[in-house]
């Protein structure tokens, strides 16, 4: 994402302190993380104290204050997925990627995250990579899916 895109989002909300979350969501969606200098720009443009921007950015789970990998790997840990075998799936992903929940690998290939619930319970347990759902996953199939993402 270019600086111009970020500037565009910030400009849209200039002078609107109540739109802080909107602005951060858009930047997060496009840029996948919130660099500190961008948060300073947001604070100045929306006229919100930087401390408050940090409070919001660090509180909500959707915001990331560190860069993410090229691919976001997600295991749903919702109740149905849990009952249908998500813990084993999670263990397999952790084994294959060497990552724990929330971590990114050194060459920025994967960021691994867990979370609940994505509402596709009928096809759980689920592995989601970059928003694409892989339903009814078994630990055996994980390696095959991850191979598709370089």
Of the pair 28, 70, the CB lying nearest another protein is at 28
Q: Which of 39, 110, 124, 146 binds another protein (CB under 8 A)?
A: 124
Task: Count CA atoms closer than 13 A to 96's CA, side-chain side.
Answer: 20
Binders of another protein: how many residues, by CB under 8 A?
39
Is 126 a binding residue for another protein by CB under 8 A? The answer is yes
Nearer to another protein, 3 or 65 (CB): 65
Q: Least distance to another protein from the beta carbon of 19, Å?
A: 7
Please choose, out of 1-9, 11-19, 34-42, 91-99, the segment that lies near another protein by the rule CB under 8 A.
11-19
Question: Does residue 50 bind another protein (CB under 8 A)?
Answer: no
CA 121, chain centre distance (Å) = 20
């Amino acid at each position: 994402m270019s600086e111009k895109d970020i500037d565009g989002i910030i400009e849209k909300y200039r002078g609107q302190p109540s739109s802080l979350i909107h602005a951060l969501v858009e930047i997060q969606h496009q840029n996948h993380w919130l660099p500190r200098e961008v948060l300073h720009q947001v604070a100045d443009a929306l006229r919100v104290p930087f401390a408050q921007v940090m409070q919001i950015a660090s509180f909500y789970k959707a915001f990331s204050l560190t860069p993410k990998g090229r691919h976001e790997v997600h295991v749903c840990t919702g109740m149905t997925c849990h009952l249908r075998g998500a813990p084993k799936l999670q263990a397999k992903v952790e084994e294959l990627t060497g990552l724990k929940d929330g971590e990114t690998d050194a060459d920025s290939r994967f960021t691994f995250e867990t979370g609940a619930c994505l509402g596709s319970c009928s096809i759980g347990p689920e592995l989601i990579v970059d928003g694409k759902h892989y339903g009814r996953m078994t630990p055996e199939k994980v390696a095959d899916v991850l191979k598709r993402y370089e």
